[in-house]
Structure 1
Amino acid sequence: MKKIDIKIVFFYVLFFFVATSCVGTKINKPKKILTDIPSEIENLDSEKSSNVPTLFELSTQGNKWVDSVYNAMNLDERLGQLFMVAAYSNKDTIHFNAIDKLIKENKIGGLIFFQGGPVRQANLTNRFQSKSKVPLFIGNDAEWGLNMRLDSTYRYPWNMTLGAIQDMKLIEKVGAQMGEQSKRLGIQFNFAPVLDINTNPRNPIIGFRSFGEDKYKVTERAIALMKGVQSQGVFSTGKHFPGHGDTETDSHKGLPTINFSKERLEKVEFYPYKKMFHEGLSSVMVGHLNVPSLESRPNFPSSISYNVVTNILQKELGFKGLIFTDALNMKAISNSNMPSEINFEAFMAGNDVLLFPENIPLAIEKFKLAYSTNLITEERLAFSVKKILKFKYKAGLNSFKPIVTNNLYNELNSPENEALNYELYENAITVLKNTALVLPIKNLESQKIAYVKIGDDTNDSFVSTLKKYADITVISDTNLDSLQMKLKPFTTVIIGYHKSDVAFKNSDLKSDELFKINYLAKNNNVILDIFAKPYSLLPITNFDDIEGLVVSYQNSDIAQIVSAELIFGAIDAKGKLPVSINTNFKVNDGLATEKLNRLGFTTPENVGMNSAILAQIDALAKKAISAKMAPGIQVLVARNGKVIYQKSFGYHTYDSTLKVKDSDIYDVASLTKILATLPNVMLQYDQQKINLETTLGEMSPIFKNTNKQDIHFKELLSHYAGLVAGIPFYKATMDKSKFPSEKYFRRVSEEQFSKQLGDSLFIRNDFHDTIMKMIIKSKLSLKKEYKYSDLTFMILKDYLENTTGKKLEDLIQENFYHSLGMNNSTFNPLRKFDKNRIPPTEIDTYFRHQILQGYVNDLSAALEGGVSGHAGIFSNAMDVAKMMELYLQKGNYGNHQYFSEKTFNDFNTCYFCAAGNRRGIGFDKPQLGAEGPTCGCASMTSFGHTGFTGTMAWADPETQIVYVFLSNRTFPLATENKLSKENIREDIQEVIYNAIIK
C-alpha cells in the first residue's frame, strides 16, 4: 500500500507540473498537449513534403520490420529506446558493467561514445550490441573527425578552417571520409555538422566549431559536409537548434541567452536548417538555450520547450527526421533552476532521443507512471519509438554484424586522410595583406631572411620547411631591443604566431605578444603568419606596418608545411576569411598570390602514387645499412613538383653515434657534373657561345694543335671523344715513400700553398696547370666508342673559368644556387657548415692518411683544392632535387627561366645511341641493353647521373618523377661497392615506379 500511495502522490505532482509547464495549454487539458503530434509528420511512411527527399521513407519490408519489432516490445523496451547513454572506452570494468546493466535491465536504445580508443570502442560496441535485444544506436561527436573523441584516429581541420575553403567538393570529401570511418567503427550518427552562425567573436563554445559568420557560406559548407557523411550510410546531425552562434556563455557551464526576435532568428539562425532539411538532413540536435522570443518562460531551455521543438522545428519548419536533445547532463539544463523531470520534459517537448540522460532507472519509472496515467499516450510513444526504429532499419541494424577489429587502426588512418588534409590547407590558408607583393618571396639571391617565433606551441615543421626553400636564420631574444639589433641585417622577418592546436585552448594574443608584434612590424619588413583561429587577430588594431599577413588557422604540422609553401610560392593562396576581424578585414576577404614552380610537399596519393608501396623504400634502405653497404642514406622522391617522400636512414658512421638528418650534406661525387658544371655550360650554349659542333680547340686555345683539338662539343659531353677514363694525377705529387711530397704540399697554409685537401694538408696553387698539361698530353683513342671519362668535366671547368673570368665555385652560386635556394650545396663545405652536418666519406690510407670529412673524396678534385668540374660538390637530397626539378621543367624554376627549353632538349638527346652509347650531352641516360644506371623502368627521355660515393639523381619527364639517393657507401673503405652490386639504388627506383597508380 505504501508503494501505491507514493505513486499516486507522484502522479498528481507530475500531472500538475506538466499541465502548467506546457506552452499554450490549460491545466484541465493536459492530454491534448501531451498527444499533440504534428499532423504534417504523423504518418512518416505515407506522406512526404514535395521539397524534402525520401530519406525518411521506408520500403514495405522496412515498415514491416519496424511494426513487428515495435509490436513485440513491452513498455520497458519501448521506453528504453528513447535513451542514448554516455559510454567511454577509456574507463574501467565498473563503467562497462554499468552499461551492461542499463542494456539488460532498462533496454536503452543507444550509446554516445566519448573518450577512448578505436579498437577499445569497437570491442565494447560488439560487447554491448551482443547484449541488446534490439541493436543499439551508436553515436559520436566527430565534428573534426573521430579524433575529437578517440585517440589513434585522424583529425581533420576545424569547421572555421573549412570555412575558408571555396571548393565545396573538398568539404564533401571530408564528410565522406568521416562517414566512412564512422561506419567502419560501427557508428550510425555523427553529431555534426555545427550549423551555428558565429556572429559573436566572443562566443566561448562555438567559435572555431562554426564554419563562419555568413549564413550562406555556413549553409553551403554544412550541406557539403552532410552530403559526404550521409553518402557513406551514416546519419548527420545538425546542431545546435535554434542557433548557438551569438552567445557569450558556454552551455556546458550555464544557460546562454539569445536575445533576438523571432524574425531575426528565422532570417539568420534558421536559414541553414531550412536548406539542410531540403537536402535531406537526417537529424537535429536541440541546444540548451534561453530564447525569450521563442519561449515565454524565463530562463527555460529551448531543448525542453514544446514551442521550440514541436511548434517551430517540426510544424513550422517541417522537419521529419530524428530529434536529439543536447547532452542532458550539461549545466545549462541540469542546474537547480531547471525542472526536476528533465528527461520527461525533453520528451514531452517533442524530442525523440534523450542524449546523455542521468539516472535512467528512475527516469523510466517516471515515464511508466506517466504512461499509466495517460500523460504519455501510446500515440506519442509510438511516434518517437517507431521513428527510432525506422532509422535503425535504414542504418542496417536490423541485421547487425559485429565490427571486425583486424586492421581497424590502419583503415581508420589510411593515407587518403593525410592526402585530403594537404588539399584542405592548400585551399584554406588565407592571405590578408600583401604590401608590395612581398608574398611569395622571390629573388632569393638578394634576400636575407630571419624567423622569429611568438606563442607557446611547436613550430618545428614550419621552420624546417622554410629552410628547405631558403637560408633562414632563427632569431630569439627575450629583450626586444637586443632582438631588434640582431634583426637589423635582415631584409625580411617572418613572424610565426604558434598556439596550441588542441581544441578549446585559448589562442588569444597576450599583451606582451601583441606589443612584440607591433614593435617588430614597425622596425622590420614583416610577414606575420597566424597559426591560430582568425579571432586571435582581434587585439591588433593597426595592421599598417605589417607587409604580409597570412592566416593559417591551426598549428598542425600540415598547416605549418603548407603555409611555408605559400610563403615561397610553391602554392598560391586560395582561402577566404570566414569571419570579420573588427573593421580591418571582412568576411570573404582573401588575396590571391602568385604561384612559383618551386618544389612543394604533399602525400603520394595526391600525385597518383601509392604510399604503401613507396614505404618499401624503407626496407631497402635499412637492408643496405644492416649489410654495411653504407652507414647512412638519404632518399627523396618528388612527382609533379611535389616532394612526396623524404627520409634519412642510419648514421654518419657504423659506430651509430650521429643519426643522419635531412639537412646533412653528402659528398655527391660525380653528381657534381650535372649539379655544378653542366648548368653553367648550358648557359654558354644558350647564349650561343658554343654549339654542338664547336671543337675543343675553339673552346679552349690550350688544346689547339693537340690530338684533341678536333673533338666536337657533342662528342666531348657524350663520352665519345676517346679520352682516357682518368689520370692518377696524385702519383706525380708523391715522394719515394709514397707520401705527399714537400715540393707540392705544406702542413699549414701559405701564400702559394692555400688550396686545402685535408686536415693540415695544402697543395700549391698552380697545380691546376700541371693537371691541364697532363690532360693535354694524354692519349686519345683512335676508335670512336663510348668510354666514360672524368677528364671531360675537368676540361669544362677550365673552359668556364677562362671564358667567364670567374671561379666555378662562384659561378654556380651566382648563376644558380643562390636564386634556387640551394643553400646546402657548395664546394669545400667546411668553410660554411659545421662538421657534424657532413658524414665522412672514407678513411684515406693511401694518400692523405686521415678520415675524409668535409674534404672531397675524389683525389683529382682534391688536388684542385676541392673544386673540380667532375667532383667536389657537397649537398643534401632536397637541394639536389631542386636542380633536377629545374631540368625537368626545361630550365625553369621559381618562374625564372635559366636557359631555354631548346637548350635542355638538345642536352637531353642521345646522339650516339645507334652506336651503343647511351649518354646524352652531360647527362647519363637509361641503359641500352643490360648495362646502365637505372632499374630499366625509367623512360628513355629520363636523365640523371650516379656518383662514386653511392649517389644517384634521376628525373623522368614522362612520369614527372625526381629521385635522389645520397650515401657515403665509401666509408670506411671504398674498395668494395656492395651498394652497386646489390642494385640498391636501382631497386629503390623500381619501387618508385611500381608505386605509380595505374
Structure 2
Amino acid sequence: MQYSKWAEDSINYMANRGTVAGYGNGQFKPEGRVTRAQAAAFLVRELYPEQQPDTKQTYSDVSTSYPFYREISIAARNGLTGGFPDGTFHPDAPITRAETAALLTRAYELTNGNQSTAGLSDTATHWAAEPIRTMSSNGLIGGYSDGTFRPNQSVSRAEFTVFMTRVIRFERAAAIEAHDWDKLISYMTVSEQVGQMLMPDIRQYNGKATTTVNDGIKSNLHDQNLGGLIIFDKNIIDAKQLTTFTHDLQAEAGDIPLFLGIDQEGGVVKRIPGGTNLPGQMALGAAGDASLAEAAARLTGEELKALGLQVNFAPVLDINSNPDNPIIGMRSFSSNPDLVTKLGLSTIRGLQQSGVVAAVKHFPGHGDTTVDSHLGLPVLNHTRERLDSVELKPFKAAIGSGVEMIMTAHIAFPAVDNDHVTSLKDGSSVPIPATLSKKVLTGLLRGELGYEGVIISDAFTMEAIADHFGENQAVVRAAQAGVDIILMPQDSASAHQALVQAVKNGSLLEASVHDSVKRILELKAKYGLFDPQESLSTQLGALSKVVGSNAHRAVETEIAEKAVTVLASRNSAGPDLIQAGDRVVIAAADEEQAKQLQKQLTQAGSSMSLKTDIAIIGQANTNALLNNADYVIAASYQFRNVASQFDWSGTQGIIDYLNGKSKRYALLSLGNPYEMLYVDDVRSGLAVYGKQEPNTLAGIKVLLGQLEPKGVLPVTLEQ
C-alpha cells in the first residue's frame, strides 16, 4: 500500500469487517481498478453475507461458474446493481466514479445532505448527477482541485474502499445520533457485537500494573472490539491519573464508548484511593437509615462519574443469613430481607441519580452459603418458597423499582435448576450454577420476574466456573443462558473467538446476541456515553471539588458514628468507658491495625492524659502489658473465612484474662460482628463493621464517652 497510504485506515477497516480481501500473495493492490463484479462482491459481503444466489443465471455473460456469480446474483436480486439492455452485466469492466456513487446511494438508501455541491462542474447533465449530488452533499465523495468530478473515470480498489468506509461510518454515526440501535447493530460485524458482551480486567500487561493506555490495551480494544473494562486498585495511582486513564480509554474506543466498571461497595470492598472512605453496607444496616444509604450511594456515584467510571458493581443484595458465609459477611446490609430491600433500593436510587449504573449482585442470592465461589461451587438447597421469601425478595423489589443491571451468582439453585453436567475438573456430576443456567436467567429472572435490563456475570476467573465448565465452553453457555456481559473472562481473546464461532455455527443465536447488544447500547445511551464528553482539562479541574470533598466526608462520618453498636454491656448502659489518666493497651493480632487505633485514641483523647501501649495477641509479653493496663481495647477482625472454623482462641484468651483481673475493657469487633457466637463471657463490646478509619474512629469516640452508640445489630446471632 505504499502508493495509497491515504487509504490505509479504510482498507484495514474494511478488511477487518471481512468486506475486502487481498490476493493470494498477501497484497491488496490498492491502485488496481475495481471491476463491476468486485464492486458487487464488496457490497454483498457487507450487506447480505448470509444470502444464497439464485440457481438460474441472471445475466448472459455471468455464468454460474463465474468467480463472483454468487455476489452478482444476490446484488441483482436486492436491487443493488443492474445490467445492460442486451441482458449482459459486463462483470470485468472497471466501475466508474459515477457508477460507484449510484451504487452506494442505492445500496444504503442515502438522502441529500446539507453540504454544498456547487463545485462539481462536469456532473450537471450526467445520468448519475443525482446520486453524485447526494454523496457529495453528505461529504462522502468529492471532486478535484479543478472543480471537476470526472464521473466516467474508473475507480481504484483503494478509492472504492474509502468510499464504502465513509458511507458505513456515516450511517453508523446517523444511527447513533438517532439512537436507532437496531440500525447500528446492522452495521456491526459479529466480532463487534460479541465484543460488546465482554468486560475483561486489565490489571497487568507484561507483568506490570496497567495505569496508562498501553499497546496491549490498544490491541485488545481493536482486535476484540471490547464493549467494557473493569478497573481495579492496581490500575489506580491517584484521582488525576485514573481520570486521565479513563479519558484515554474512551478516546481509543471508537464510535461505541466503553462501559468502565468498578467494585466500589464501600467498606471492605473499595478501589479508589483518596476518595470518600465509606464505612460499608453492614454499617449502613446498623444505622438503619435509608436516607443515609441513598446519600452514600449518591456521593459514590458522583465520585465515580467524576473519575470517568459509569458502572458500580453495587449494592450487594445478598442476605447474610449464615454467619459461616466466607465471602459476603459485612458486605451485606443485614440478615433481614426487609432491611436489605429498603437499603438496597435507596442505594440503587442514589447511584442512578448521580448518573452511574447500579449493578446489583449476586442473583439469585449469595448470602446463605459456606463456600466462597471464588474457590468452589456453592449449592443453595433451599425450597423455592424459601427463595421467594428471603433470597429473591430484594431482587424482586429492585426489578420493580427499575434496576438496570443485575450480576449473576456462580451458585447452583436446585429448586430452580436441578440439571447436572460432568465436571471437566474431576469427572464428577456437578449442578449448573445460575450464571450458566437458562432456567435461572431466562426462565426465572426474565420470564417470571419480568426483568428487562442488562444481565452481567460475576467474574469468570472464579473457580466455581473455571474448574468445572471449561473457559470457552462456559463463556458460550453463559451467553446461551441469557448473560449479556461476560465479566473478566480468563482470556478475553479466546472468549471473543469462542463467541464469534458460536454465532457462526449457530449454537448462539444471532437474535439473542442482537438483543444483548441492544440492551447494552440502550443503557450506554441512557447514561450519556454517546453524548459529547468534557475535555480532560475540565474533568481534572473538577476533581478536587468532588472526590473526597468535605461534604462527602461528612456523610462518611455520620454513617460510621450512627453504626456503632453495643455487643455486650455489664449493666445495659453501654461498654466500659476509658477514663482520664488511664493506661490503655490496644491488643490486636495485626500490629498495623493496633497502631491505627493507638493513633486515633491519642488524637481523640488528647485532653485526657492517656498513656497507650500495644500488645500483639500471642506474643510473650502480652499478659504483662494487659496486667499493667487500666483499660484494654481488644480488637477482633474476622472476614473472608468461615466464622465457626476461625481461630478465636487468642481473643478468648484475652477476654478470660481481663475478666479474671476485673479489668475495664471493650471487645472491638472490626469485621463480621459474630464474636458473641464464639467468644464466651464478653462483658463489654462494640461492633463498628470495618477496620477502616471512619469506622474505628467512631468506635474510639464511643469508648472515650464522646459519642453515644445508637447502632442496631443488623444480623441475627444464631449458629
Q: TM-score range by the shorter chain?
A: 0.5 to 0.7
> Is 2:584 aligned against 1:451?
yes
Is the CA contact 1:146–1:153 (under 8 Å) kept in the aligned structure 2?
A: no
Structure 1 residue runs of 4+, over 6 Å off? 60-63, 440-444
Q: 1:345 to 1:534 in 2, by over 3 A?
A: closer
TM-score by length of 2: 0.66
Tell me, what secondary structure is at the counterpart of 2:201? Answer: strand
> 2 CA distance for matches of 1:369 and 1:390?
25
Residue of structure 1 aligned with 2:240, choices 119, 127, 131: 119
> 1 CA distance for matches of 2:501 and 2:627?
78
Q: How far apart are 1:504 and its partner, in Å?
A: 4.7
Unaligned runs of at least 5 residues, structure 1: 1-59, 584-998
> 2 CA distance for matches of 1:363 and 1:484?
57
Tell me, what secondary structure is at the counterpart of 2:416? Answer: coil
User: What per-residue deviation string (whole Å, max 9, x for no partner) do you get for residues 879-938 of structure 1?
Assistant: xxxxxxxxxxxxxxxxxxxxxxxxxxxxxxxxxxxxxxxxxxxxxxxxxxxxxxxxxxxx
Q: Which has the larger radius of gyration?
A: 1
Q: Which residue of structure 2 lines up, in the alignment, with residue 178 of structure 1?
A: 300
Is the CA contact 1:81–1:109 (under 8 Å) kept in the aligned structure 2?
A: yes
Residue of structure 1 aligned with 2:188, choices 51, 73, 85: 73
Residue of structure 2 aligned with 1:104, choices 208, 222, 226: 222
Q: Which residue of structure 2 lines up, in the alignment, with residue 88 of structure 1?
A: 203
Q: 1:65 to 1:400 in 2, by over 3 A?
A: farther
Q: Which residue of structure 2 lines up, in the alignment, with residue 197 of structure 1?
A: 319
Question: Which one-letter code corresponds to 2:483 in the other structure?
Answer: N
Is the CA contact 2:637–2:672 (under 8 Å) kept in the aligned structure 1?
A: no
Identity %: 29
User: What per-residue deviation string (whole Å, max 9, x for no partner) do you get for residues 507-541 of structure 1?
Assistant: 96641331121221243253414141243514644
> Is 2:668 aligned against 1:530?
yes
> 2 CA distance for matches of 1:166 and 1:70?
45
Q: Which residue of structure 2 lines up, in the alignment, with residue 552 of structure 1?
A: 688
Q: Which residue of structure 1 lines up, in the alignment, with residue 628 of structure 2?
A: 486
Tell me, what secondary structure is at the counterpart of 1:329? Answer: coil
Q: Which residue of structure 2 lines up, in the alignment, with residue 996 of structure 1?
A: none
How is 1:878-889 mapped onto 2 (pairs within 5 angstroms)?
Answer: none
Q: How far apart are 1:147 and its partner, in Å?
A: 7.5
Q: Which residue of structure 1 lines up, in the alignment, with residue 523 of structure 2?
A: 391
Q: How far apart are 1:438 and its partner, in Å?
A: 5.3
Q: Which residue of structure 2 lines up, in the alignment, with residue 358 of structure 1?
A: 490
Q: How far apart are 1:303 and its partner, in Å?
A: 0.3
Is the CA contact 1:109–1:137 (under 8 Å) kept in the aligned structure 2?
A: yes
Question: Which one-letter code corresponds to 1:114 in the other structure?
Answer: F
Residue of structure 2 aligned with 1:461, choices 586, 589, 599: 599
Question: Which one-letter code corresponds to 1:159 in the other structure?
Answer: Q
Is the CA contact 1:147–1:153 (under 8 Å) kept in the aligned structure 2?
A: no
Residue of structure 2 aligned with 1:254, choices 376, 389, 404: 376
Q: Which residue of structure 1 lines up, in the alignment, with residue 569 of structure 2?
A: 434
Q: How far apart are 1:376 and its partner, in Å?
A: 3.1
> 1 CA distance for matches of 2:354 and 2:215?
32
Q: How far apart are 1:179 and its partner, in Å?
A: 0.5
Is the CA contact 2:318–2:365 (under 8 Å) kept in the aligned structure 1?
A: yes
> 1 CA distance for matches of 2:578 and 2:299?
41
Tell me, what secondary structure is at the counterpart of 1:516? Answer: helix
User: What per-residue deviation string (whole Å, max 9, x for no partner) do you get for residues 545-597 of structure 1?
Assistant: 61x322222233333332233234433221011113348xxxxxxxxxxxxxx
Q: Which residue of structure 2 lines up, in the alignment, with residue 572 of structure 1?
A: 708
Q: Which residue of structure 1 lines up, in the alignment, with residue 510 of structure 2?
A: 378
> Is 2:260 aligned against 1:138?
yes
User: What per-residue deviation string (whole Å, max 9, x for no partner) do you get for residues 415-434 of structure 1?
Assistant: 22321121011100012333
Is the CA contact 1:147–1:154 (under 8 Å) kept in the aligned structure 2?
A: no
Q: 1:481 to 1:98 in 2, by over 3 A?
A: closer
> 2 CA distance for matches of 1:94 and 1:561?
36
Q: Which residue of structure 1 lines up, in the alignment, with residue 50 of structure 2?
A: none
Q: How far apart are 1:143 and its partner, in Å?
A: 0.9
Q: How far apart are 1:340 and its partner, in Å?
A: 4.6
Question: Quick check: 531-540 or 284-293, which moved more?
Answer: 531-540
Q: 1:65 to 1:580 in 2, by over 3 A?
A: same
Q: 1:93 to 1:462 in 2, by over 3 A?
A: closer
Q: 1:362 to 1:549 in 2, by over 3 A?
A: closer
> 1 CA distance for matches of 2:211 and 2:702?
50
User: What per-residue deviation string (whole Å, max 9, x for no partner) do you get for residues 205-227 of structure 1?
Assistant: 11121112111111111111111
How is 1:431-830 mapped onto 2 (pairs within 5 angstroms)?
Answer: 431-436=566-571, 439=574, 449-455=582-588, 456=590, 457=593, 458=595, 459-465=597-603, 467-468=605-606, 470-474=608-612, 478=620, 482-483=624-625, 486-487=628-629, 490=630, 493-497=631-635, 499=637, 504=640, 510-538=648-676, 540-543=678-681, 546=683, 548-582=684-718
> 1 CA distance for matches of 2:486 and 2:378?
20
> 2 CA distance for matches of 1:379 and 1:443?
67
> Is 2:413 aligned against 1:291?
yes
Question: Which one-letter code corresponds to 1:573 in the other structure?
Answer: P
RMSD of aligned alpha carbons: 3.1
Is the CA contact 2:382–2:415 (under 8 Å) kept in the aligned structure 1?
A: yes
Q: Specify which structure has the bigger relative contact order, considering alpha-carbon pairs within 8 angstroms and separated by 6 or more residues.
A: 2
Unaligned runs of at least 5 residues, structure 2: 1-174, 421-429
Q: Which residue of structure 2 lines up, in the alignment, with residue 911 of structure 1?
A: none
Q: How far apart are 1:146 and its partner, in Å?
A: 11
Is the CA contact 1:103–1:128 (under 8 Å) kept in the aligned structure 2?
A: no
Tell me, what secondary structure is at the counterpart of 1:464? Answer: helix
> 1 CA distance for matches of 2:364 and 2:374?
17
Is the CA contact 2:282–2:334 (under 8 Å) kept in the aligned structure 1?
A: yes
> 1 CA distance for matches of 2:464 and 2:586?
39
TM-score by length of 1: 0.48
> 2 CA distance for matches of 1:145 and 1:536?
17
Question: How many pairs align?
Answer: 514
> 2 CA distance for matches of 1:415 and 1:450?
34
> 2 CA distance for matches of 1:389 and 1:167?
35
Is the CA contact 1:87–1:112 (under 8 Å) kept in the aligned structure 2?
A: yes
Q: How far apart are 1:388 and its partner, in Å?
A: 0.7
> 2 CA distance for matches of 1:192 and 1:466?
33
Question: Quick check: 227-236 or 548-557, which moved more?
Answer: 548-557
> 2 CA distance for matches of 1:564 and 1:157?
15
